[in-house]
Structure 1
Amino acid sequence: MSERLTIVIAAFNEADNLPLLHPRIAAVLDSLAHDPAGNDLDAQVLYVDDGSSDDTWRVMQQLAASDRRVAVLRLSRNFGKELALTAGLDRVEEGGALILDADGQDPPELIPQFVAKWREGYDDVHGTRLEREGEGWIKRSTAHAFYRVIGRLSRTPIPADTGDFRLLSPRALAALQQLRERHRFMKGLFGWVGFNSVAIPYHRAPRAAGHSKFNFWRLWNLALEGITSFSTAPLRLATYLGLLTALTAFVYGTAVILKALFWGDPVAGWPTMMSVILFLGGVQLIALGVIGEYLGRLYDESKQRPLYLVDTWQPAAGVSSGQAPLAEGDGHAHRTTTARSQSA
């Protein structure tokens, strides 16, 4: 019996990229399906439309009609890349899963190397970027800094310069599917699962077409998501900052009292007073903001809403499977109908 692999691709407004990317994937799958060494691989591609507003869904349907190995999944709206990936990975019933970006920057030609490492016994085979072509120096430098900062703040191992381009073994995928938090930083969740991992270095190419959907503001929010999801260091920093401020205020207050007792203080210190008030007020607001970030995440988790809702699910015609996995719904359970409107 051959092994099975599902390539999961989440796309948002990537109608121009998908027709360029799929032939490259199809060529790789053809080579894996007819391995001269006899290690055939039963592979399919699962495209997830994350509520695109362009022709992405129509392009996906065309790819599914022309290639029996293609399955397509459409979410009811744009839920964001992390949840779109979760929806796709939830659909993988058997075998491993390989995550690939829809922009063509991560080369599908490396898939055979990922599969080879998987067959050696590794559960998490991830691509580590040696170069980020087509990106400005600001984005490259901030990304470099982010991975170093979160690597120091988080107890969960998060490989530096490593994105979502990775292959997960069946047991790593099954473990990941048990993690159902609403605020999802997938790179951290991959590390939290653990198991045997190995890196494959590669050069990341520029986008084949279009432009990145992650502007500076979205990248900043993603960084906050990652830090607050996998580290309580900001809360601890706020505590230390508060203690240091209180100690400084106590020393300064003692000095003011002693000065008034021994030398008097006939002149009101308006500038000094305002500086102290503004400083203390700023520190308090920063601490409250940090606490608010964590409380906001607790509030979202307490609602227990489904992670995503599925509009349309169309399994691959050329890959046999049993009961289709169900849409995100009641906790870990799901409700589904195939090919049209699913909700929970």
Structure 2
Amino acid sequence: MKLRVIVPCYNETEIIQQTISKLTSILDEASQQKSFEYDLLFVDDGSKDNTIEILQNAAETIPTVKYLSFSRNFGKESAMIAGFEHSTDCDAVVMIDADLQHPPELIPQMVEVYREGYDQVIAKRNRDGENAPRKWMTRFYYKTINYFVEDIRLEDGVGDFRLLSQRAVQSLVSLSEYNRFSKGLFAWIGYNTKVISYKNVEREAGVSKWSFGSLLNYAIDGLISFNNKPLRMMIYLGLAIFVVSMLYIAYLLVDTFVHGVSVPGYFTSIAAVLFIGGIQLISIGVIGEYIGRIYYEVKQRPKYIVQASNVQPPVELKKQA
């Protein structure tokens, strides 16, 4: 059995050497005890620090260290699909973050569960230690997205940390969309799945690369990537406003016949203009978001560009070259 651990990286100078050491220590012992081969594929997502230099130096002395380096920052989704596309010769892969918030100690247990016949072994973290507002917002997000999305169900605490069989990897690679939301794609491909739980872990060094704005954009990606309900909601909202408007017009007409013409109220006019104008802007924004995604898809640009690597490119990229 050949196992590959994929580690997306972005500006991880403070932690990356520790991550290499910890993964190597754990997997050296586990590979001997459980009889499997392994290597580590670090995908540098255009880091602005010296992350790639550390990886290149490590690769010279540690044969199991592989790396891909992008020409610029393409985002974590691109780093993940690059790792999958360059791992189609492995029996199984593990996706793990570089900051050690995903405990590498779980990987041997994942391998055991994989050998039981599971194609996805998912590590689910609890929310112990998180502040109350963050917990509330997270729960609200998952309830909202599961209400809108029809084909899949996302679970709180389940992220990218998981083991995937080769056929699960092939299925993900076959999904060619440019705008990717991997949490949804993992759930969409299905297969036999088992969840193992672990306690919430804080970063050992460095700072999170996810700002509030980044998380908000990621949440919107998840909401729009797997359904067209927001578009349909705009139709329902428009119909509701139309019905209310007709009722209000009928009321004004009757009031005019009964009481005669009166001076229209300033508040009513402004409220109507602002309310309907706001709904129109929201509707245009939702439609624009979908059109923008179509725009990016039809361009068929590559999801990433590799500028340095010590691994063989996938067969499809070899043919293009």
Same fold (TM over 0.5): yes
**Is 1:293 aligned to residue 289 of structure 2?**
yes
**Is 1:71 aligned to residue 66 of structure 2?**
yes
**More helix by percentage:** 2
Identity %: 38
Give distance in 2, aligned partners of 1:271 and 1:163: 48
Give the match for residue 130 of structure 1: 126
Amino acid of the structure 1 residue aligned with 2:238: G
**Is 1:96 aligned to residue 129 of structure 2?**
no
Q: 5 Å matches for 1:1-344?
A: 3-35=1-33, 39-92=34-87, 93-131=89-127, 133=129, 136-155=131-150, 156-315=152-311, 324-326=312-314, 333-335=316-318
Give distance in 2, aligned partners of 1:193 and 1:159: 15
Give the match for residue 319 of structure 1: none
Amino acid of the structure 2 residue aligned with 1:81: K
Moved more, 155-164 or 80-89: 155-164
Give distance in 2, aligned partners of 1:132 and 1:294: 36
Amino acid of the structure 2 residue aligned with 1:194: G
Amino acid of the structure 2 residue aligned with 1:4: K
Contact preservation (8 Å) 2:127, 2:157 = no
Q: Name the SS of the counterpart of 1:98 in structure 2.
A: strand
Q: Name the SS of the counterpart of 1:166 in structure 2.
A: strand
Segments of 4+ in structure 1 off by > 6 A?
Answer: none
Give distance in 1, aligned partners of 2:16 and 2:143: 32
Give distance in 2, aligned partners of 1:137 and 1:82: 28
Deviations 1:235-268 (A, max 9, x none): 1221111111111111001100111112112323
Q: Name the SS of the counterpart of 1:160 in structure 2.
A: coil
* Pairwise CA distance, 1:231: 2.1
* Pairwise CA distance, 1:335: 4.1
Contact preservation (8 Å) 1:132, 1:206 = no
Q: Name the SS of the counterpart of 2:222 in structure 1.
A: helix
| Residues 268 and 144 (structure 1), Cα distance of their counterparts in 2 relative to 1, 3 Å cut | closer
Amino acid of the structure 1 residue aligned with 2:67: V
* Pairwise CA distance, 1:148: 2.4
Contact preservation (8 Å) 1:147, 1:161 = no
In structure 2, runs of 5+ residues without a counterpart are none
Q: Name the SS of the counterpart of 2:39 in structure 1.
A: strand
Contact preservation (8 Å) 2:138, 2:156 = no
Normalising by structure 2, we get a TM-score of 0.95
Give distance in 2, aligned partners of 1:141 and 1:10: 28
* Pairwise CA distance, 1:137: 4.0
Moved more, 182-191 or 20-29: 20-29
Give distance in 2, aligned partners of 1:140 and 1:91: 36
Amino acid of the structure 2 residue aligned with 1:48: V
Q: Name the SS of the counterpart of 1:34 in structure 2.
A: helix
Contact preservation (8 Å) 1:82, 1:185 = yes
Give distance in 2, aligned partners of 1:50 and 1:101: 13
Normalising by structure 1, we get a TM-score of 0.89
Give distance in 1, aligned partners of 2:98 and 2:131: 20
Give distance in 1, aligned partners of 2:145 and 2:267: 39
| Residues 157 and 58 (structure 1), Cα distance of their counterparts in 2 relative to 1, 3 Å cut | same
Deviations 1:17-69 (A, max 9, x none): 1111122111221122211xxx4011110001000000100111122122111
Amino acid of the structure 1 residue aligned with 2:42: Y
Give distance in 2, aligned partners of 1:52 and 1:270: 56
Moved more, 147-156 or 275-284: 147-156
Contact preservation (8 Å) 1:8, 1:46 = yes
User: What is the alpha-carbon root mean square deviation over aligned residues?
Assistant: 1.7
